Each structure stands twice: as structure tokens, then as C-alpha cells.
Amino acid sequence: MAIIVTGDDPALPVTLKKSKAVFAIAPTATVQASVVSVDKLTTLIPPITCDNAATGADWANSLVMVEFTSAQTAAISATGEALLEIQVDDGGKLTWFVLITIETGTIA
């Protein structure tokens, strides 16, 4: 389970799967990610667009790097479990949810 520490600049690698298998995400696809509460009622980090050229990304094998800034994570007031929501739009939208943990950072 991935951990986001508030105030950090996390880069979270997530391999998406269809029918338990990796797949190719087209370089022209739009991939967005956000952090939401487990009940999906509260957005903790609004959607950001993921970059297929991000270090560690391998869209040909459905590996997406979700990169949040320290300002985005510092704005999170909740801690504990949350969901990383990832949506791929390649002529049709598909969405995945990944369970994560949010911890409060203490080093400024």
C-alpha cells in the first residue's frame, strides 16, 4: 500500500490492469489522478494530469507515475486510509481505485 506523507513530493508508481493483465496506454491518452476519501465523498487532492514521459513511467506496460507536489500534499487535512483514483481516457474512460495511506509529516 502506497503512503503519502503530507508536505512531501511523492511519485507513486501504479501498474493498471485490465482482466488481471497489463495493457498499453496510448501516448495520446489523458491520464488523470486524484486522492479521494474512502467513501468517495471528499476530494483530498484535485485531479492532476499524469505525464507519459515522467521518470519511471512505462505506459506501454500500463505503468503510470502519479506525481503530487508538496503544496498539494500539505493541503491534505485527513490522515489514514484514502483512495488514489486514476482515470485513463483513450477514446473511452476507464477508472481504477487504489487504497493508500496518508500520514502527517512532521519535518518541515
pLDDT digits (tens, 9 = 90+) for 58-92: 999 999 999 999 999 999 999 999 999 999 999 99
What pTM, to 2 d.p., does this model score? 0.95
Q: Tens digit of pLDDT for each residue in 13-61?
A: 999 999 999 999 999 999 999 999 999 999 999 999 999 999 999 999 9
3-class SS at 55? coil
Please report, for residues 44, 55, 107, the alpha-carbon distance to residue 24 in angstroms, rounded to integers and kept in the order given. 29, 17, 39
Please, what sign has the CA dihedral across residues 97, 37, 35, 12? negative
DSSP β-ladder status, 63-67 and 80-89: unpaired
pLDDT of 1 above 90: no
Q: Are 48 and 34 in contact (CB under 8 A)?
A: yes
Q: Which domains does the chain have, with CATH numbers?
A: 2-103 (2.60.40.770)
